[in-house]
Structure 1
Amino acid sequence: MTLPRLPLAIHTNVAELLDQLRAAQLAEFGDGASFLRRERKGRFYWYVRSRQTQGDRPERYLGPETPELLETIESAKAAKTAAGDRRLLVRSLRAAGLHAPDDRTGRTLKAMARAGVFRLRAAVVGTVAFQTYGSALGFVLPSQAVRTGDLDIAQDRGISVTIDDGLDRPFLDMLRTADPTFSPVPKLGPSKSATYRTPDGYAVDVLTTSRHAGDEETSRLDALNTDATPLRFLDFLLRETVETVVLYDDGVLVRVPTPARYAVHKLIVSRKRGQANPKRRKDLEQAQALIHALAHDDPFALREAYAEARGRGEAWREPLDQAVSLLPSEARAALEG
C-alpha cells in the first residue's frame, strides 16, 4: 500500500489549527477565568473556574498536567476569538484532500465539544476517528476506508467514576442541540439507553470498557450522563488518547485513540466480526493504512502496541495472528520488527 504524503505546509497548518483550538477551548471560559492545580495520588491535575462555571460544578476539569496543557493555559489567558480565521484554515485543509465528516456528524461533534465531552476524556472511536489520522500523521488516507453512517463515542469507566466533573445535562439533551430528532434506543427497559438514533437511521453509540465477560448489557457513565455498552478490548484502545482536529466549520477539537492502538485494535476486531460483515474488510483496510504510515514515522509506537496486545494472552494473540496473516509482508514486518 502506498499513501501520498501531505505537503509540509499543509501538515504545519494542521498543527497550527490544533493549537488555536486548544487555546480557544479554554478562552471560552471567559475573561477572568482562574486556572487551578490540584494534586491527587502524587499527580497534578488542572481545573478552571470562571463566571460560566458557577453553580453545582464551580470548577471544570481540564486534564492531567503536561507541558502542552501548561502552554495552552498560558495562550488561553490572552487568546482572542478567531473563528473566522480558523474557518478559512479548515476550508484550505479540506481543499487539500484531507477528509472531513458529513454535516450531521460535524454538528454532533461540535455540540459534544461545546458541552465538554472530550474535555472529560471521552474519545471518538471507529471510522470518524480514522478520518482524523491523515491530518495528524501527514498522509492522505484511502477514501474507501473513511465512509461511515454512524458515530461511536467511548469513555473508560474508571475515568467516568473518578473524574470530578460531568455534563450539565443528559447526553440525549446535548445531542438534540445538534439534531432535535435524536431519540434513545432502549436497552433492558425504557430507562436505559446507550444508542441514540434519528428517524432516518443515523446513530450515536456510547461505549465503555468491559471488566469481565459477565458485564451487564449497559453500564452507567456518570460523567457523560448516559448509559454505555461495555465492549471487550476497548480498554486497550482507550489507554492512550490524543487530541486532534475534525475539519468541520471552524474546526472541532476532539480526542481519539493513538493511531498505533487504533491499528492493532482494528486487527483484533476484524476477526471478531462475522464472515459476511462488510466492516470486517474495512477494519483491515484501516489497520493496513495506519501501519503503512506509522512504519515510516513512528515504528516504535506501532511495535509497542502490537507487543502489548499479544502479551495479554491467548484470547488476544489468536485473532491478532489470524489478522496479521492476511496482511502484506511489509505490513507484517512493520509490526513484528
Structure 2
Amino acid sequence: MPALYRFHPPALMVLFADLASHARGQSKVFVGTAGSVLERSNADGFRFYAHQFYDGDGKKRERYVAGPIGAPEADATARALRLAVAETKAATTSLRLLGREGFALVDAKTYATLASLYNHGVFQAGGVLIGSHAYGLLLNQMGVAGAPYATEDIDIARREKLAFPALPEASFLEMLQATGIAFVEVPQLDARQPATSFKERGRSRFHVDLLVPAAGDNFQVVPVPELRAHATALPYLSYLLADSQMSLLLAREGCCMVRVPLPERFALHKLMVSQLRADRGGKSEKDLFQAAVLLAVLGDRHPGAIDDALRWAPLSILGRLKSAVRLLRQLLASDHPRAWDELNPE
C-alpha cells in the first residue's frame, strides 16, 4: 500500500518556520501580486507614486499611492511600500521552492480571497478556515506531504461573534470583492432565505461558504451581524471549532497567517461528516482519506492527541464515528498501529 504521507526534510521545515515568522509580522498583505511602485505624472504635470500589480482575478491594476513626488510624506509612503514589495518578492523565492518540494500551495484566487479576509481582521477576530484548504495547511504545519487535493471551495466558519476591535466597515461580500474577483451572492432554493454562499460571477465554480454551528441537528440560516451576512448552521461544527490555531497559508504570490482547527479535531470531524452525508460518494471518500492521513501522522508523531480529541466527541455521534473508523482499518491498522490503537481503545 502506498504511504499515506512523507516527512519534509528538516531544512525545509526551517525555511517554513522562517516564512511563518515573516508572516506573523505582517499587519497587511498584498491581495494579488506584490507588483511594483512607479512614478507617474498627470496632464497637469502633477507627479505622484502609483502601485502596479495583478489582482486576484489576474487583471493588471494600478492605484494611486501618494504625491507629489518629492514631498517628505509621499516619499516616505513610497519607501515603505517599496520595502513591503521587496520583502514579499524575496519570500516568493522560498515559496516556489516549498511548492516544488511538495508543500501545499493555494491558487491565486484562493490566496487573494483569504488575504483580503486577513487584511480585514477576520481570522484575527476568530474566523476559521475549514475544509480541504485547511487540510493542506495542517499538512504543512505538521511537516508532511500527502496526496494532492483539488477544490474550488473556501469554507469560512465562526464559532461565536467575531471579536473585532471595532466593527469592520466592509460587509463580508465587500471583503470578498476587494480581491478584484467579481463575487456575487448565490440565491437560495427558497427565495425567502438570504444567501450564505458567494461565488465568482459567471460559470466559474469558485465560491466561498460562510458557516456557523447549529444548535441541534437541523440545517438553518443564521445572521452574522458583525459581517452583515448570513451563514448556514451545520451540526457538530462547534466540536471542530472549539480549539483553533493560526497557521501559515502559502501561495506563489505571498503568504499570510490564517486560523485553522486543531488537526485531531479536524480529522475526527471529517469522520463524522463522512457518515452524515446523504450521498456517500466521492466527498465521503475524500473525507475519510484526509482523516486517515492526519490520524496517521498524529499517531506516529503526537501520541495521545487522538485520544484527547475522542474524549470531547459528541455522544450523539459516537456510533457513526465508530462506523467511520472501521472503514479506515486497511489504511491504518498495519502501517500506523498507534493511530489505530487510539481509535480503538480496549
Structure 1 length normalisation: TM-score? 0.77
Counterpart-to-counterpart distance in 2, 1:173 and 1:138: 35
Question: Which runs of no fewer than 5 residues in structure 1 stay unpaired?
Answer: 29-79
Deviation of 1:225 after TM superposition, in Å, equals 2.8
Higher helix proportion (structure 1 or 2): 1
CA contact (8 A) 2:133 2:154 kept: yes
Q: Which runs of 5+ in 2 are unaligned?
A: 31-82
Matches within 5 A, 1:5-24: 5-24=7-26
State the Cα deviation string for residues 206-246 of structure 1 (Å, max 9, x = none).
0011123466x311122333211101110010111111111
Task: For residue 270 of structure 1, give the secondary structure of its aligned residue in structure 2.
Answer: helix
d(CA) in 1 for partners of 2:290, 2:101: 21
Contact 1:244 1:254 in 2 (8 A): yes
Partner of 1:260: 264
| Residue aligning to 2:343 | 335
Aligned to 1:279: 283
**Partner Cα separation in structure 2 for residue 179 and residue 334 of structure 1:** 46
Task: Tell me the residue number matched to 1:73.
Answer: none
SS in 2 for 1:206: strand
In 2, are the aligned partners of 1:117 and 1:167 still within 8 Å (CA)?
A: no
Match of 2:297 among 277, 289, 293: 293
8 Å Cα contact 1:3-1:141 kept in structure 2: yes
Asked whether 1:100 is paired with 2:100, we answer: no
3-state SS in 2 of match to 1:166: coil
Deviates more, 1:147-156 or 1:299-308: 299-308
Which residue does 1:76 correspond to in 2?
A: none
Cα distance change of structure 1 residues 174 and 163 upon mapping to structure 2, 3 Å threshold: closer
Match of 1:230, SS state, is strand
Q: Is the contact made by 1:167 and 1:225 (CA closer than 8 Å) also made in structure 2? A: no
Q: Distance in 2 between matches of 1:251 and 1:291?
A: 26
Equivalent position to 1:236, from 228, 236, 239? 239
* Per-residue deviation, 1:148: 1.0
Tell me which residue corresponds to 1:222: 225
Alignment-mate amino acid for residue 130 of structure 2? V
Query: Alignment length, in residue pairs?
Result: 278
Q: Displacement of 1:155 after TM fit? A: 0.6
Residue equivalent to 1:149? 152
Please state if 1:210 is matched with 2:214.
Answer: yes
Which entry has the higher C-alpha Rg, 1 or 2?
A: 2
Identity between Structure 1 and Structure 2 (%): 26
Alignment of 1:150-189 (within 5 A): 150-156=153-159, 158-160=160-162, 164-187=165-188, 189=191
Deviation, structure 1 residue 166: 3.3
Q: CA RMSD of the aligned region, Å?
A: 2.2
CA distance in structure 2 between the aligned counterparts of 1:335 and 1:153, rounded to whole angstroms: 28
**Corresponding letter in the other structure for 1:250:** G
> What residue is the counterpart of 1:25 in the other structure?
27
**Residue 122 of structure 2: SS of its match in structure 1?**
coil
Structure 1 residue 135: Cα displacement: 1.3
- Any idea what SS the aligned residue of 1:178 has? coil
Deviation string, structure 1 residues 289-336 (Cα, Å, up to 9, x no partner): 000111122122221102221xx32x2101101101111223421424
Q: Is the 8 A contact 1:291 1:334 kept in 2?
A: no
> Whole-Å Cα distance in 2 between the matches of residues 190 and 90 of structure 1?
45
Query: Distance in 1 between the 2:88 and 2:192 partners?
Result: 40
Tell me, in whole angstroms, the C-alpha distance in 1 between the residues paired with 2:184 and 2:175.
12
SS at match of 2:306: helix
Once the two structures are TM-superposed, the CA of residue 192 in structure 1 deviates from its matched residue by: 2.0
